[in-house]
Amino acid sequence: MNARRVLTTRTRRCALLVCMASLVMSSCWHPAFNPELSLTMNTVQKMNLVSTIRVTGIRQSDADRGFFVPRRVSVPVDGIWLAGQEWGDIAYRNTVPLYLASGASSSFTSVSPITYEPLRPYRPVVRASPTGAKEALGFGFRSAGRGPIRLYSAMVPDSAGPIQRDDSSTVVLNGGGGVLGLGFAPYDALGDAGFAIYYDDTLMAWQALEFSYSGGTPLSGTGNDIAIPPALSPTRVGFTANSGAYWYLSITDADGVSTTYRWPSTALMTQPGKLQGVTLPLVAVLSDGKLLSGDGTTLTAHEADGTPLFSVLASGLYFAHERYDTAAGAWLMVFCRQLFASDGRDEYGTLLLDVYELPTADLETLAD
């Protein structure tokens, strides 16, 4: 009886060791435990995971110094990876746009023979375009003689396939002055409008510009004079957009303090009001008129006047764009999450790019 008990005990111990070994081996595939990411799991579980792109053989330093812009379709399987080239403590001193789909990192293909310098050396402002031949929008890059706003085109519209730089589709801002804000907002089911606030040194005046890019080659339009608050000292290009009755500008100063301003769309030469309820950088003006602010850890929805509505835990999760679902007749919010899983081989591993969707009307459910 004692021998049987000893044998049974040894057998159980062996089984336990095997299970523990299996867990250890499988844990190599998962990122290290992060309390904030763990809390964010409650957020992503309420959304629909529509796509996962896996890139193998990538160095963690490269994965940490880049971000993904998925193609703006229902099930994206590719997009543009914007890889930052570090200089000192500046992660995006130069930026290389790469076409990216699942596979080995060695299969990355550049969509441009040149690197781009973001407007001021911070993470560039980018979004994917809506439908049509212009599938990906590089937004907020400075390139000599070409202006800060650049489009890309896909070989096969609305499908997978190489994305290439399109030199014929670039918005050039008049004059060589500074840029305060770049951004976009949806205006109907078919497309977006792009926006910029910049200084036209030929007119010696700040201009607010709205342009269309949904049909292909962007239409620059004509800028309108806009009254800028005195003594602004932003450290980077902010977010700007015109939605309905108001034009917004969100900037961050040298002390890291973010301020969002609002003008009546019909009175841009009046001094703007500050939205006291918006304390994080503005990242989007949504199709329903709500504002979305965030700092990489939390996303907060606001009324058009800046009144906070609710907040969502979003560490490691970032807003990519909205997409109109013609079948459902509704706008969908698209989010991306980047995770790096070490394979135990030096600093190499697998980059996991998860793409999630949620009806814009259901955004508040993420705060439950």
How far, in Å, CA of 92 to CA of 116, rounded?
Answer: 9
Average pLDDT, whole number, for the chain? 77
pLDDT in tens, 254-292: 788 899 999 999 999 999 999 999 999 999 999 999 999
pLDDT in tens, 118-176: 655 566 666 665 554 444 555 655 554 445 566 666 555 556 567 766 666 566 676 66
Q: Are 164 and 142 in contact (CB under 8 A)?
A: no
Sign of the torsion formed by the C-alpha atoms of 163, 168, 174 and 176: positive
Percent of the chain with pLDDT over 70: 66
DSSP states along 49-73: EEEEEEEEEEEHHHHHTEEEEE-SS
| Mean pLDDT score, 348-359 | 94
- 61 or 25, which is more confident: 61
pLDDT in tens, 293-319: 998 889 999 999 999 999 998 888 889
Q: Which amino acid is at 330?
A: A
How far, in Å, CA of 291 to CA of 74, rounded?
Answer: 24
Q: What does the angle CA 232 – CA 235 – CA 239 come to, to the nearest 5 degrees?
A: 80
How far, in Å, CA of 235 to CA of 218, rounded?
Answer: 28
> What pLDDT is attached to residue 186?
80
257, 293, 310, 296: CA torsion to nearest 10:
-80
Integer Rg of the chain from CA: 23
Whether the pLDDT of residue 49 is over 90: the answer is yes
Q: Are 137 and 127 in contact (CB under 8 A)?
A: yes
Are β-strands 205-212 and 258-264 bridged in parallel, bridged antiparallel, or unpaired? unpaired
Whether the pLDDT of residue 14 is over 50: the answer is no
Phi, psi values for residue 327, rounded to 5°: -65, -45
Beta-strand (E) ranges in 29-161?
Answer: 48-59, 66-70, 78-87, 90-101, 103-104, 109-110, 117-118, 136-139, 141-142, 149-154
- 260 or 177, which is more confident: 260
**Considering only CA atoms, which of 174, 193, 82 is closest in space to residue 130?**
193
Whether the pLDDT of residue 34 is over 70: the answer is no
> What pLDDT is attached to residue 16?
36
Q: Are 334 and 355 in contact (CB under 8 A)?
A: yes
Sign of the torsion formed by the C-alpha atoms of 93, 98, 101 and 107: negative
Report all structural domains of the chain as residue ranges with CATH numbers, in order of start.
Answer: 66-316 (2.120.10)
Backbone angle region of 20, left / alpha / beta, with phi > 0 → left and psi within -120 to 50 → alpha: alpha
